Amino acid sequence: MKTPKDLLLPAFVLLAPHAIACDPPLASAAIVGELAQPALVCPGEMLSFDGSASTGVGGPITAYLWDFGDGASDTGMVVQHAFLEPGAYHVRLSVQQDTCVSLAPSALMVWVSPAPDFSVLASTVPSTICAGDTIYLNGETGTNAGHWSSLPSGADHWNDPPMFPDSDPAGFTNALTFTGFSPGEAVDSIDDITGICASLEHSYMGDLVIQITCPNGQSMLMHQQGGGGTYIGGANDGDEFNPIPGECWSYCWTPDTAWGTYAQNSEFGATPHVMLGGTPPRSALIPGDYSSVQPFTNLIGCPLNGPWTLSIYDLWAADNGYICDWWIDFAPGLSDSVIHFTPTIGFTDPDSAYWSGDGFVPNSENSSEGMAVPADLGLHAYSYTVTNNFGCTYDTTLTVQVAIIPVPVLISGDSTTCGNAHVLLSAPEGYDSYRWQYSYQTSQQLLVGPGTFTVTVTLGSCEAESEPFVVLATAPAETPAITQQDLLLVSSEALAYQWFLDDVPIDGAVDQTLEPVANGLYTVEITDANGCQAVSDSYPFTTLGIEATVGGGLLLHPQPARDVLLLSGARTGSAYRLFDLGGQLLLKGSVTGSPQQIRVEGLAPGFYVLELRQDQQGGRWPVIVE
């Protein structure tokens, strides 16, 4: 296909300033099969353009030039062309008869359908469901039929939001430049602008001044400080030295809103309109429409074409703020030079909108609605197809994962606890979340006392409750007692034993009796029939070597002593004293013979020290009483 640059000179080569006067031919164009104007077509749809109705004076048309308005052109009485992008296209046909050219082209209008927006629809359907669950599908509530306008969108957006400069007289400025209006068109009424909007956040409303300036310098103040520490958006307060953007919320200034200014709707304003938001959570201005400080009449007379500038001044340094995007909404019928159109979709008509997919059952009165119960586990696709009044068909497919939680969900752990001791319960691994009954804990494991417990687990959107797990309380194990039989230590009876010497476990010492191999403090840990454990008191064992001469031919025996301790070999008249381990004197006397009897029947079982002094010398020796 040729372009206008290729065609203009050869097709109309005789169009020179001194061309011979003639009767110009009359151009007449039509779209084959399209009677209405504008023609409503789909992107890529091939159209036939017919210029055969064009007429000349006394002879045939000798050249045809088609300008399709999208940068392409063609020659020929009948030509084909497809428009690939949505939009409004002026198609013009000029004809030539010999040296004469039509004075005015024949014009056609073609509107090419924009695609519908299905983005919201995806958010209305869960990505994962449980086996047996029902999916509810509603295409109408999640589908925007699409819109096209010759006017630029009038918006600016930042993926990396800029921060308002603190205490900078220049402030933050950004301009939206419009060129799609007719020259000289201006704002005639406050109804010409339906909203000036921004998506932003700031942790102190009272810092800011916000203003809009139109191409000829007229301006309108939208916010003039005020509002104190009320947040704008989900602000991040606490980022003074390392600024981090919070969450931008969208606000508009409109000429007809019932709500007042930012300051009037702040936390302590005349009409508070706030909610908790931001970090840390505080009162934040609710997103929506608000009044400007100065009236929209300030903008009457502003040229529509040219730069419209948003200015934001952050007057104090302590708090920070960011802007994510901003835009201007002009009234749809503001200018005759602006073309805009919105296709329509018959959402309730099965010829215009319908779902398909495993197990889908449509609503008999609305084909865009229905439900489905997928039959099998795994991925299931559901397609929504619409056809608009342009005759264009579009579809989108949503995928749903059908999952299952293995049942039963079983808790593991000890089913008995000794007294009020705690046991550790464990839910199966591999789930997305855990929720224990009677507890705020959300971990896979939980320490509990006696009682009955369940845990609810989730996997995607699937949820299942475990089988009950009962923890029974049993009597705690009785503290074991150690006795000595000759050179053996004997524990009171239990199910299992573990002996310790000076708090260190003795390898292999797991019987009721133990033959000590060294002096020291012995304990035994027992396990009873309920699995409960207890540890004995320490038993001091010093018998090994105790019956040897303790010095100068002295002997102490028996060890341990029950009622009487015998001291042999001591000289008559020697003094003896018996102390407990705390140094308290318990007995004293003098040796009257050998062996000397020292009566200990009144002493508690345990470890003691005997002191003996003779001939200005003395010593101390351990004594065990049982």
Looking at the chain, the number of H-run helices and the number of E-run strands are 2, 53
Element (H, E) at 122: helix 119-123
What contacts 615, CB < 8 A, 6 or more positions away?
Answer: 571
Look at the block and give the residue holding tokens 């050998």.
594
- For residues 319 and 299, give the distance between their C-alpha atoms in angstroms, rounded to a whole number: 31
What contacts 167, CB < 8 A, 6 or more positions away?
Answer: 314, 315, 316, 317
- For residues 94 and 11, give the distance between their C-alpha atoms in angstroms, rounded to a whole number: 10
- For residues 82 and 44, give the distance between their C-alpha atoms in angstroms, rounded to a whole number: 5
The fold of 4-112 is Immunoglobulin-like (2.60.40)
The DSSP annotation for 529-546 comes to TTS-EEEPPPEEE--TTT
Strand partners, 506: none
Q: What are phi and psi of 294, to 5 degrees?
A: -100, 155
Contact indicator for 260, 270 with CB cutoff of 8 Å: yes
Quote the pLDDT of residue 306: 93
Using DSSP's 3-state secondary structure scheme, residue 11 falls into helix
Q: So where are the chain's domains?
A: 4-112, 115-147+342-403, 155-330, 416-471, 482-541, 555-625
User: Is the CATH number of domain 115-147+342-403 3.40.50.2000?
Assistant: no
Task: Give the residue ranges of the chain where pLDDT is below 70.
Answer: 1-21, 152-156, 239-241, 336, 461, 486, 542-553, 582, 616
Quote the pLDDT of residue 79: 98
Domains 115-147+342-403 and 555-625 share a fold: yes
Contact indicator for 374, 380 with CB cutoff of 8 Å: yes
Task: Count the Cβ atoms, other than its own, within 10 Å of residue 462.
Answer: 20
Considering the four listed CATH numbers 2.60.40.10, 3.40.50.10320, 3.40.50.2300, 3.10.129.10, the one that applies to the domain covering 555-625 is 2.60.40.10
The DSSP annotation for 103-123 comes to SS-EEEEEEEPPPPB-HHHHH
513-514, strands of its sheet edge to edge: 482-485, 488-491, 513-514
Superfamily of 155-330 according to CATH: Galactose-binding domain-like (2.60.120.260)
Task: Count the Cβ atoms, other than its own, within 10 Å of residue 148.
Answer: 17
Task: Count the Cβ atoms, other than its own, within 10 Å of residue 322.
Answer: 24
CA 75 to chain CA centroid, Å, is 59
What contacts 602, CB < 8 A, 6 or more positions away?
Answer: none
Contact indicator for 378, 221 with CB cutoff of 8 Å: no
- For residues 165 and 313, give the distance between their C-alpha atoms in angstroms, rounded to a whole number: 8
